[in-house]
C-alpha cells in the first residue's frame, strides 16, 4: 500500500444474497452445496445413508416407526470470493458533474469492507488494454483492505481506448464461481461487451453502469462541444445545434436500452449509478433483485 494520504469517506456495509450455493471448503455465511457436519439443519436421514455417528439424533431414532437410526444432516455454510472488475479505459477519466474514479473507489471500498464483514475474500482487478498491475489485489480477507482499495482506485489514471483486458481476466479470477461486479461506463461496442460476458460465464456477474448526468444535462443547444462516441469511447469536436443535441440524447437512451436488454438476456441485473455511489440503491438491487 502506498504512503499517500487518502481521505476515505464513511462507509456502510451492504448485504448481498447469492442465487446459487457455493461449494467452497472454506466456512462462511452463505448456504453451500453438498452436505456437512455443521451449518444449517436440513433434515434427518438414516445412518446408513449418512454414516456419521456423531450426528445421531437419539430422540428421533426412538420415535422412528421402522426402528432406523436417524442422524442430523446439515447444509454447510461456505465463503466465496467477491471480485471488483474495473474498467480503466480512457472514457472512465471523464469529468462532468463528478469525477468517475472517486465514485468507483468508494463503491469498491464498500464492497471490500462488506466482504470482510461477511467472511468472504475480496479481489480487485483493474483493466484497460490489459490487466493493470497497479490496480490489482489478489483474493484476500484482511482488516483495513478497504483503505488500500480506495487508495489504489482514487489515484488510478484511466487511459487508452481499449478494454481488451476485461475479456482477458479469466486467468486472474478464481476457478470457483465468484460474485463479480463488472464496473464500467460501458462505452464500447456491444460485440466487445458480449466477449467480456462470455469470458465471465463461470461467475455471477453484477454489471454496475457508471453514468454522469452532465453528459446530457450540460449539453448546450448551440456551440462547439466535445462528444464521446458511444461505441468507441473516443471524443470528437462537434458543432452542436438543437437537432444534433436531440439526436445525441436519443442515442444515449437507446444505448442504455441495449445494455439492459443484453444484461437481461444473460441473466444479469444491472445497477446504474448516476453521479454518485448510492449504497441503498445497490443494496436494493442485490437483495431485492
| C-alpha cell belonging to residue 264 | 437481461
Contact between residue 170 and residue 199 where contact means Cβ atoms under 8 Å apart: yes
For the chain, domain boundaries: 27-78, 81-212+267-288
Q: What is the pLDDT of residues 145-164, one digit of tens each?
A: 999 999 999 999 998 777 88
Query: For each successive 10 residues of the chain (289 residues), what is the average pLDDT?
Result: 63 89 74 63 78 84 88 81 95 82 96 96 95 95 96 91 84 92 93 94 95 71 64 66 75 89 95 90 78
What's the confidence (pLDDT) of residue 183?
97
DSSP assignment string, 56-92: B-HHHHHH-TT---EEEEEEPEE--EEEEEEE-SGGG
What topology is assigned to 81-212+267-288 in CATH?
Rossmann fold (3.40.50)
The DSSP 8-state label assigned to residue 170 in this structure reads G
Largest CA distance in the chain: 88
Alpha-helix runs per DSSP H in 96-186: 100-118, 145-154, 164-167
| Grid cell locating 64 | 422412528
DSSP 155: T
Question: Could you identify the residue written with the cell 438543437?
Answer: 242
CA distances (Å), 37 to each of 20, 50, 56, 77, 240, in order?
A: 20, 10, 11, 10, 68
pLDDT at 229: 57
For 212-260, write each residue's pLDDT tens digit.
876 766 666 666 666 665 445 566 777 767 787 777 778 888 889 999 9
Separation between Cα atoms, residue 134 and residue 172, nearest integer Å: 14
Give the mean pLDDT of the chain: 85
CB atoms within 10 A of CB 137: 19
Amino acid at each position: 500500500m502506498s504512503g499517500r494520504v487518502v481521505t476515505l469517506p464513511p462507509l456502510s456495509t451492504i448485504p448481498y444474497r447469492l442465487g446459487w450455493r457455493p461449494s467452497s471448503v472454506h466456512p462462511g455465511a452463505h448456504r453451500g452445496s453438498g452436505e456437512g457436519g455443521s451449518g444449517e439443519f436440513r433434515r434427518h436421514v438414516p445412518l446408513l445413508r449418512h454414516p456419521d455417528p456423531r450426528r445421531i439424533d437419539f430422540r428421533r431414532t426412538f420415535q422412528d416407526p421402522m426402528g432406523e437410526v436417524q442422524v442430523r444432516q446439515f447444509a454447510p455454510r461456505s465463503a466465496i470470493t467477491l471480485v471488483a472488475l474495473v474498467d480503466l479505459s480512457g472514457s472512465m477519466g471523464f469529468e462532468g458533474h463528478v469525477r468517475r474514479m472517486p465514485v468507483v473507489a468508494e463503491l469498491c471500498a464498500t464492497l471490500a469492507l462488506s466482504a470482510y464483514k461477511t467472511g468472504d475474500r475480496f479481489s480487485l482487478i483493474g483493466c484497460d488494454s490489459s490487466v493493470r498491475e497497479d490496480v490489482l489485489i489478489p483474493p484476500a480477507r484482511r482488516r483495513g483492505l478497504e483503505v488500500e482499495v480506495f487508495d489504489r482506485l482514487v489515484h488510478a489514471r484511466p487511459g487508452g481506448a481499449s478494454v481488451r483486458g476485461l475479456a482477458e481476466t479469466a486467468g486472474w479470477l478464481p476457478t470457483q464461481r465468484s460474485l463479480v461486479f463488472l464496473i464500467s461506463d460501458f462505452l464500447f461496442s456491444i460485440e466487445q461487451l458480449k466477449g467480456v460476458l462470455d469470458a465471465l460465464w463461470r461467475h455471477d456477474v453484477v454489471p454496475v453502469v457508471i453514468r454522469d448526468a452532465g453528459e446530457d444535462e450540460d449539453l448546450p443547444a448551440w456551440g462547439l462541444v466535445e462528444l464521446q462516441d458511444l461505441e468507441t469511447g473516443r471524443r470528437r469536436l462537434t458543432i452542436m445545434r438543437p437537432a444534433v443535441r436531440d439526436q445525441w440524447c436519443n442515442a444515449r437512451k437507446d444505448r442504455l436500452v441495449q445494455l439492459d436488454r443484453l444484461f437481461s438476456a444473460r441473466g444479469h441485473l444491472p445497477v446504474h449509478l448516476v453521479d454518485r455511489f448510492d449504497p441503498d440503491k445497490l443494496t436494493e438491487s442485490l437483495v431485492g433483485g
